C-alpha cells in the first residue's frame, strides 16, 4: 500500500515538474519569436494576414486554438508543434512591433498581462504534459489508466479554450 502512495506522489511530482518546464519553454519560444528581427516588408505581409477584429468570433478562435492544442497531445511531435506555434506567435508580435514601431518587449509584456495569455498557455502546457505522460505511462505499463486522465485533461483544455475564446472576442470589441 505504501508503494502505491509513492507511485501517485511520483506521478504528481512529475506532472508538476513537466508543467513548469513546458510553461517556461512556451514563454521562451514566444519571446524568441518576438525578438526575431523582421524586415518591414515581411512584417507588413504578416500583419495583413491577421484577421481583422470584426471577422473574429468565439467559434473562429476556439477552432483555431483547439486545432493547435489537439496536435499538442501527440507525444514528442506535439511538443515540437507547440514550440513552433508559440514561436510563430512571437514572430507575429515582432511583425506588429515593426509595423507600429513599438518595442517588441512592450508587446510581450502586454501579452503576459493579458488573461488570454494565461488561459491559452496553461491549456497548451497541459496538452504537452499529457502527451509526455502518455509516453511515460506506456513505459510504466499504465497506458489505459493514463488515457482516462488524458480525457479529463482534454475536457479541461476545451473548457479553458472556450472561456478564453469568449473573453478574447470581448476584449477585441
- Taking only the tens place, the pLDDT of each residue in 105-146 is 998 898 899 999 999 999 999 999 999 999 999 998 988 999
- Please report which confidence band the pLDDT of residue 172 belongs to, taking 50, 70 and 90 as the band edges: confident
Integer angstrom CA distances of residue 132 from 15, 29, 53, 78, 140: 9, 18, 35, 9, 13
List, in order, residues 6 or more apart from 89 with CB less than 8 Å away: 30, 33
Arithmetic mean of pLDDT, 77-99: 96
141: left (phi over 0), alpha (psi -120 to 50) or beta: left
Contact 135, 75 (CB under 8 A): yes
All three cell numbers of 114, joined, read 493579458
Q: What is the pTM of this model?
A: 0.91
Q: Residue 1: what pLDDT?
A: 44
Rounded CA-CA distance 69/14 in Å is 21
pLDDT score recorded for residue 6: 53
Amino acid at each position: 500500500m505504501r508503494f502505491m502512495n509513492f507511485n501517485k506522489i511520483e506521478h504528481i511530482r512529475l506532472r508538476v515538474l513537466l508543467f513548469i518546464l513546458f510553461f517556461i519553454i512556451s514563454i521562451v519560444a514566444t519571446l524568441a519569436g518576438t525578438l526575431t528581427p523582421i524586415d518591414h516588408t515581411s512584417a507588413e505581409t504578416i500583419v495583413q494576414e491577421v484577421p481583422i477584429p470584426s471577422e473574429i468570433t468565439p467559434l473562429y478562435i476556439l477552432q483555431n486554438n483547439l486545432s493547435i492544442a489537439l496536435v499538442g497531445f501527440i507525444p514528442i511531435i506535439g511538443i515540437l508543434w507547440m514550440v513552433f506555434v508559440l514561436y510563430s506567435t512571437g514572430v507575429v508580435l515582432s511583425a506588429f512591433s515593426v509595423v507600429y514601431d513599438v518595442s517588441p518587449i512592450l508587446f510581450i509584456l502586454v501579452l503576459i498581462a493579458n488573461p488570454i495569455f494565461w488561459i491559452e498557455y496553461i491549456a497548451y502546457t497541459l496538452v504537452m504534459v499529457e502527451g509526455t505522460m502518455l509516453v511515460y505511462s506506456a513505459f510504466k505499463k499504465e497506458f489505459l489508466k493514463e488515457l482516462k486522465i488524458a480525457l479529463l485533461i482534454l475536457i479541461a483544455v476545451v473548457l479553458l479554450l472556450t472561456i478564453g475564446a469568449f473573453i478574447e472576442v470581448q476584449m477585441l470589441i
